[in-house]
Structure 1
Amino acid sequence: MKLTVIGGSQGTGAKVAELALDAGHEVTVVSRSGSAPAGAVVVTGSATDPEVARRAVDGADAVVVTVGGAKGVRRQRTGVTRAVVDAMSATGARRLVVQSSLGAGDSGAQMPLPLRLLMKVVLAAPLADHDAQEAVVRESGLDWTVVRPTGLTNAAGNGRWRAHEVGDGGRLGGTVPRADLAAYLLEVVSDDSLVGRAVGISS
């Protein structure tokens, strides 16, 4: 599989790229700094640049977006995701998996009430960005899946997690290791049953 990871130079995206490379996939990473896991093809620049986004997704079987916010940039996640969607539509790439956040959209119902209230106050701006990002994804016409993790940690992954959609009765905890989130994102890429669905994940 030819996989493009937007935000793959560090954090969860780098772990997705590393796992994909270990599994024998061809991986392209967009990186402003030009850094990426060993073995990945690097497209240097910002994914908000239409030409950078087009080069990154051209020929991809799937695209994973794992970008965070950027200091001084309003709704960075939304801007990157919109540029990626436009590039995929132009090049014919179809499969899109986007890392959002638990608390976005209607997913607050999956969290304990105290955590839900805390996130609304402390993370109001990032959640607004994720809400707008998810709207871009849902309106894209692509084969999309949104993954909404709880709080991310750098703890070692254990290969176990809970993944639930809103309405299926599952409640989620407060954290998930980036390593486990990355493993789940790579699984989702190949799971056609999750196309058009948003899933929350925690340990």
Structure 2
Amino acid sequence: MQITIVGGAKGTGAQLAALAIEAGHVVTVVTRSGTVPEGADRVLGSASDPAVARLAVTGADAVVVTVGGAKGVAHNRAAVTRTVIEQMKQVGVRRLLVQSSLGAGESAQQMPLALRLPMKLVLAKPLADHEEQEAAVMASGLDWTIVRPSGLTDKPATGSWQTLETSEPGTLRGTIPRADLAACMLEVLEDDATIGSALGVSS
């Protein structure tokens, strides 16, 4: 599979790129810094630029968006995601996987009870960005999946995780290592049964 990762220069996106390359996939990373994981192809620039986004997604079998916020840019995640979606439609790429956050949409109910109010207060702005991002994804008409991780850590991978849709009972744990989230995302990309799902993810 040919995978384009928007936000793959660091964090979860970089770990996903490394895992995908190890699994034999061809990976292209959109990067503003020029840094990419070893073995990945590079598209230099910001995916908020339609020309950069178009170059990056052309020829891809799947596109993954793992971008974070940007200093001085309101709702950067949503803006980048909308641009990527538009370019995917123009070049005929359908599979989209987007990293959001637990707490977005109706997923607050999946969080441990003690974390719900603090998350809502402390992360109000990022969550608003994620909710706008998710709305664009769900309205895209593409073959989308959203993953909503709980708090991300840099702990070693455990090799296991749990996923939960908002229609399912239960709650998730408060954290997940980025390495486990990356492995979960690669598994999701390879599973068409996840299309149209928003999955909470934690250890």
Q: Aligned equivalents of 2:69 and 2:103: distance in 1?
A: 16
Deviations 1:95-147 (A, max 9, x none): 00000000000000111222010111000000000000000000100000000
Q: Report SS of the residue matched to 1:144.
A: strand
Which residue is equivalent to 1:59? 59
Q: Which runs of 5+ in 2 are unaligned?
A: none
- What does 1:18-33 align with in structure 2 at a 5 Å threshold? 18-33=18-33
Q: What CA RMSD, in Å, does the superposition of the two structures yield over aligned residues?
A: 0.6
Which residue is equivalent to 2:81? 81
Q: Aligned equivalents of 1:96 and 1:153: distance in 2?
A: 24
Q: Aligned equivalents of 2:56 and 2:83: distance in 1?
A: 11
Q: Aligned equivalents of 1:189 and 1:170: distance in 2?
A: 24
Which residue is equivalent to 1:123? 123
Q: Which amino acid aligns with 1:162?
A: Q
Q: Report SS of the residue matched to 1:148.
A: strand
- What stretches of structure 1 move > 4 A for 4+ residues in a row? none
Is 1:195 paired with 2:198?
no
Q: Which amino acid aligns with 1:90?
A: Q
Q: Aligned equivalents of 2:167 and 2:78: distance in 1?
A: 25
Which residue is equivalent to 1:41? 41
Counting aligned pairs with the same residue, the percent is 62
Which residue is equivalent to 2:105? 105
Which residue is equivalent to 1:171? 171
Q: Report SS of the residue matched to 2:172.
A: coil
Which residue is equivalent to 2:137? 137
Deviations 1:46-77 (A, max 9, x none): 00000000000001000111011011110000
Q: Report SS of the residue matched to 1:104.
A: coil
Q: Which amino acid aligns with 1:180?
A: D
Work out the number of aligned pairs and report it: 203
Deviations 1:155-190 (A, max 9, x none): 001111110101211310110000000000011111
Deviation at 1:34, TM superposition (A): 1.0
Q: Which runs of 5+ in 1 are unaligned?
A: none
Q: Report SS of the residue matched to 2:105.
A: coil
Q: Aligned equivalents of 1:35 and 1:111: distance in 2?
A: 34
Q: Which amino acid aligns with 1:179?
A: A
Q: Aligned equivalents of 1:22 and 1:195: distance in 2?
A: 24
